[in-house]
Amino acid sequence: MLTAICTACRSSRMGPLLRLALGCGLVFAATLASAAPAGDVLQQIRAFRAAHERVVLNELVHLLAIPNVARDRGNIRRNAEAIALMLRRLGLQPQLLEPAGAPDVPPLVYAQWKVPGAKRTLVLYAHYDGQPVNPAEWVTPPFTPTLRTAPLSEGGAIIALDSPKATDDQMRLYARGAGDDKAGVMVILSALEALRALHRDPTDNLIIAFEGEEEAGSPHLGQILRDHRALFDAQLWVICDGPVHPSGRVEITYGARGDMNADLTIYGAIRPLHSGHYGNWAPNPALRLARLLASMKDDRGHVTIPGWYDGIAPLGDRERRALAEAARYDGTIRRDLGLAAAESDWSLPQAVMLPSLNINGMRSANVGSEAANVIPATATAVLDMRLVVGNDPQKQFDKLRDYVRSQGYYVIDRDPTPQERLAHPLIATLKLRPGIYAAARMPMSDPFALAVAAGVRAAAGQPPLEMPSSGGSLPLSVIKEALGTPSMVVSIANYDDNQHAANENLRLGNLWNGIDIYAALLLHP
Touching a second copy, residues 180-239 (CB under 8 A): none
Q: Which of 62, 165, 335, 431 binds a second copy (CB under 8 A)?
A: 335
Residue 509 contacts residue 496 (beta carbons within 8 Å): no
Report the 10 Å Cβ neighbour count for 45.
Answer: 26
Determine, following the binding rule CB under 8 A, whether residue 126 of this chain makes contact with a second copy: no
- Minimum CB separation from a second copy for residue 149, in Å? 19
Determine, following the binding rule CB under 8 A, whether residue 278 of this chain makes contact with a second copy: yes
Contacts of 287 (CB under 8 A, 6+ apart): none
Instruction: Collapse the DSSP code of 499 into the 3-class scheme (helix H, G, I; strand E, B; otherwise coil) and give the result.
Output: coil
- Give the dihedral sign, CA 36/235/100/489: negative
- Minimum CB separation from a second copy for residue 421, in Å? 4
Stretch that binds a second copy, among 197-205, 316-324, 344-352, 392-400 (CB under 8 A): 344-352
Q: Which is nearer to a second copy, 269 or 451 (CB)?
A: 269
Nearest alpha-carbon partner for 231 in 491, 516, 485, 525: 485
Instruction: Collapse the DSSP code of 40 into the 3-class scheme (helix H, G, I; strand E, B; otherwise coil) and give the result.
Output: helix
Determine, following the binding rule CB under 8 A, whether residue 74 of this chain makes contact with a second copy: no
Q: Which is nearer to a second copy, 62 or 274 (CB)?
A: 274
Nearest alpha-carbon partner for 79 in 96, 93, 91, 92: 96
Q: Which of 337, 392, 398, 402 binds a second copy (CB under 8 A)?
A: 337
Determine, following the binding rule CB under 8 A, whether residue 281 of this chain makes contact with a second copy: yes
Residue type, 461: G
Q: Which is nearer to a second copy, 4 or 290 (CB)?
A: 290
Q: Which is nearer to a second copy, 52 or 176 (CB)?
A: 176
Determine, following the binding rule CB under 8 A, whether residue 328 of this chain makes contact with a second copy: no
Q: Which helix (H) or strand (E) element contains residue 195?
A: helix 182-197
Q: Which of 159, 173, 252, 351 binds a second copy (CB under 8 A)?
A: 351
The full length of the chain comes to 525
Q: Which of 141, 150, 170, 283 binds a second copy (CB under 8 A)?
A: 283
Q: Which is nearer to a second copy, 128 or 232 (CB)?
A: 128
Nearest alpha-carbon partner for 389 in 437, 439, 351: 439
Determine, following the binding rule CB under 8 A, whether residue 369 of this chain makes contact with a second copy: yes
Q: For every residue of 434-459, which 3-state class applies, written as one string? A: CCCECCEECCCCCHHHHHHHHHHHHH
Q: Which of 3, 11, 373, 406 binds a second copy (CB under 8 A)?
A: 373
Q: Which of 366, 394, 445, 462 binds a second copy (CB under 8 A)?
A: 366
Determine, following the binding rule CB under 8 A, whether residue 150 of this chain makes contact with a second copy: no
Q: Which is nearer to a second copy, 188 or 352 (CB)?
A: 352
Determine, following the binding rule CB under 8 A, whether residue 332 of this chain makes contact with a second copy: no
Determine, following the binding rule CB under 8 A, whether residue 339 of this chain makes contact with a second copy: yes
Q: Which of 37, 116, 117, 153 binds a second copy (CB under 8 A)?
A: 153
Q: Which helix (H) or strand (E) element contains residue 393?
A: helix 393-406
Q: Which is nearer to a second copy, 8 or 323 (CB)?
A: 323
Which residues are 219's β-sheet partners?
Answer: none
The string over 466-484, giving b where at least 16 C-beta atoms fall within 10 Å of a residue's C-beta and e elsewhere, is bbbbbbbbbbbbbbbebbe
Q: How far is Cα 404 from Cα 305, in angstroms, rounded to an integer? A: 9
Q: Which of 88, 226, 228, 363 binds a second copy (CB under 8 A)?
A: 363
Determine, following the binding rule CB under 8 A, whether residue 422 of this chain makes contact with a second copy: yes
Measured in whole angstroms, how far is the alpha carbon of residue 150 from the centre of its chain? 22
Instruction: Tell which phi-psi region holds residue 86, choosing left (phi > 0), alpha (psi between -120 and 50) or beta.
Output: alpha
Determine, following the binding rule CB under 8 A, whether residue 71 of this chain makes contact with a second copy: yes
- Minimum CB separation from a second copy for residue 148, in Å? 15
Determine, following the binding rule CB under 8 A, whether residue 381 of this chain makes contact with a second copy: yes
Determine, following the binding rule CB under 8 A, whether residue 132 of this chain makes contact with a second copy: yes
Contacts of 202 (CB under 8 A, 6+ apart): 113, 115, 118, 122, 195, 522, 523
Q: Which of 4, 65, 287, 412 binds a second copy (CB under 8 A)?
A: 287
Q: Which is nearer to a second copy, 230 or 340 (CB)?
A: 340
Q: Which is nearer to a second copy, 122 or 387 (CB)?
A: 387
Residue 258 contacts residue 387 (beta carbons within 8 Å): yes
Report the site for a second copy in 301-320 (rule: CB under 8 A).
Answer: 301, 303
Listing DSSP states for 461-480 in one string gives: SSPPEEESSEEEE-THHHHH
Determine, following the binding rule CB under 8 A, whether residue 161 of this chain makes contact with a second copy: no
Determine, following the binding rule CB under 8 A, whether residue 275 of this chain makes contact with a second copy: yes
Determine, following the binding rule CB under 8 A, whether residue 271 of this chain makes contact with a second copy: yes
- Going edge to edge, which strands form the sheet with 95-97? 95-97, 108-113, 205-211, 121-127, 236-239, 487-491, 251-253, 465-467
Instruction: Collapse the DSSP code of 274 into the 3-class scheme (helix H, G, I; strand E, B; otherwise coil) and give the result.
Output: strand
Q: How far is Cα 186 from Cα 86, in angstroms, rounded to an integer? A: 10
Stretch that binds a second copy, among 206-214, 373-381, 391-399, 444-452 (CB under 8 A): 373-381
Q: Which is nearer to a second copy, 84 or 493 (CB)?
A: 493
